[in-house]
Structure 1
Amino acid sequence: MQQLKYTLITGASSGLGKEFARQCAAMGRNLILLSLPGCNIFSLAESLELEYGVDVRFFEFDMTNTEVLQRCLQEIMSQYQIDFLINNAGVGGTSSITATPLEKIDSIILLNVRSTVMITRMLIPHLLQHKESYILNIASMAAFTPIAYKTVYPASKAFISSFFLGLREELSGTGLSVSVVYPGPIMTNSHTTRRIIGQGIKGKMGLLPASEIAEIALKGALSKCRVIIPGLMNRINHKLMQLLPAGLKLRLVSREVKKEIQFAT
């Protein structure tokens, strides 16, 4: 009997991760959903199984805990065949560096960088066992320039971009395809929604529903695209920003981001 294949999604309980889960289930893909404890992931798993008739497994743990992450991944890999990894879990925020608690800085680095690299490294040999497999990584438009008042977040997303594009080249010639998606603003929770609305028309430029971003990202990843920038406005913005000197681009973006601080808490 052929063993079932699964798509593993990190940060699957809400926002873009939840939309990835829904759309993958609609494709008939069995799922392994990872989330923090207390995020009601059981309810999501149950509803997806009932609606789409797929097998959905879920695991609740803190990915920034290295020991727990390694133990849970070993358990998952010993039981399930994974042919698609979606690295969606991430955290950010807007504040001056001196007003940002050390714990917050550490959590961004641990989740966005270390945990993402670790889970990818552990799963690569597993993914390579399949004739075709995929890794989809969520970066951000913020990866394309340093930004004051965010500092650590865009740096973490620039790392993700660099790491996974390099990994794609390293894995070329294998059956494992690596894609990176660069979303613009997304209304994923009350804080980001308040910030985007507060910015007015500028905050809404490039804004897309999570459902549309997930659809574009999945289509691109399964088509083995290298770079995916959802939304015409975001693609135009990226091209225009490439024409600006780095210093000017940094000042322009940072000036707009500074306005977010009043909406960040």
Structure 2
Amino acid sequence: MKEFALVTGARHGLGKSFAIELSKMKINTILVSRTNHGLQDFCEELKEKYKIDSRPYETDLSVYQNVIELANYINQNFNVFMLINNVGTGGTKKMSGADVDYINNIIKLNVVTTSVLTHQLLPNLLKQPAGYILNISSLAAYLPIGYKTVYPASKSFVYSFSRGLNQELKGTNVSVSVVCPGPIRTNDEVIKRVEKGFFGKFMILEPEFIAKKSIRKLFQKKADIVVNPMVWLLIMILPKWIKIPLMTKIAKKEIS
């Protein structure tokens, strides 16, 4: 029976780059995204170009029941040796002006979906000769940022969850990695927002670069994947009284 890698948020941006990179490596994929995003056509393109199997699954993973249904479907029909929890969301808003659904959606996608889908697919991964989990956190996980507030907190959860689970699974066939990229050049809206300041231009990376490096480090069972070492080092060495106000000032520019 064939083995598959499952990628969430796979139609655009970093998720799309993960799907392409895996296909280049002749790895079969199950790609998950919302409906009406051309996922079926994308899977057909990958199958034709790279001669692999690619299966589409369209659903809204911000809905808890949909996460459970996806996991049940996967466990009943596929051997999954890799899970890439890429789906997530964020944004920049004043807390006082943010809609409650905006806050709830960040928590549901970044925290609930990542942890629950991992939990539900872990028995499947443990049955394979070798299993890999890659969770997508953010450089924001290392520091609070005003005007983003909930997003860094959610990515701190992803980082802590990943490192803890990796330790828990020591001695098994499954390893867990987490990558913390900064801004990603995914679409015009994101690029316009993050490039308002000097640091945004300095930090932004191409999704293809992040995907390629992350998968390479994933197979090396690297627990903590750093894709922008200069920015990571800067965040690590700057004291909080400098970096938190600085990043908040940068974030404020995104909404001005």
Q: TM-score range by the shorter chain?
A: over 0.9
Q: 1:187·1:196 contact (CA, 8 Å) conserved in 2?
A: no
Partner amino acid for 2:223? R
Aligned with 2:244 (options 241, 250, 255)? 250
Matched, 1:211 2:211: no
Matched, 1:176 2:174: yes
> What displacement does 1:193 show?
1.2
SS, match of residue 198 in structure 1: coil
Partners in 2 of 1:186 and 1:238 — Cα distance? 15
Question: For 1:1-265, what aligned pairs fall within 5 Å after superposition?
Answer: 3-199=1-197, 201-231=198-228, 235-262=229-256
**How many residues are aligned here?**
256
SS, match of residue 194 in structure 2: helix
> What displacement does 1:108 show?
0.4
Partners in 2 of 1:202 and 1:9 — Cα distance? 30
Q: 1:11·1:90 contact (CA, 8 Å) conserved in 2?
A: yes
Question: Normalising to structure 2: TM-score of the pair?
Answer: 0.97
Partners in 2 of 1:170 and 1:112 — Cα distance? 21
Partners in 2 of 1:250 and 1:206 — Cα distance? 16
Partners in 2 of 1:52 and 1:244 — Cα distance? 44
Task: Identify unmatched segments of 5+ residues in structure 1.
Answer: none
What's the CA shift string for 1:144-167, capped at 9, x where partnerless?
100000000010000000011000
Partners in 2 of 1:169 and 1:236 — Cα distance? 27
> What displacement does 1:80 show?
0.6
Partners in 2 of 1:72 and 1:88 — Cα distance? 15
What RMSD in Å do the two structures reach over aligned CA positions? 1.1
Partners in 2 of 1:112 and 1:240 — Cα distance? 25
Partners in 2 of 1:236 and 1:21 — Cα distance? 27
What's the CA shift string for 1:50-71, capped at 9, x where partnerless?
0001111111111122222212
> What displacement does 1:252 show?
1.4
What's the CA shift string for 1:106-145, capped at 9, x where partnerless?
0000000001110000011110001211001110111110
Partners in 2 of 1:206 and 1:67 — Cα distance? 36
Partner amino acid for 1:204? K
> What displacement does 1:240 show?
2.8
Question: Normalising to structure 1: TM-score of the pair?
Answer: 0.94
SS, match of residue 187 in structure 1: coil
Partners in 1 of 2:52 and 2:126 — Cα distance? 23
What's the CA shift string for 1:174-223, capped at 9, x where partnerless?
11010000111112122211112322x32111222110010010001011
Partners in 2 of 1:108 and 1:65 — Cα distance? 12
Partners in 2 of 1:120 and 1:204 — Cα distance? 33
Aligned-residue identity in percent? 39
Q: Where in structure 1 do 4 or more consecutive aligned residues deviate above 4 Å?
A: none
Task: Identify unmatched segments of 5+ residues in structure 2.
Answer: none
> What displacement does 1:246 show?
2.1
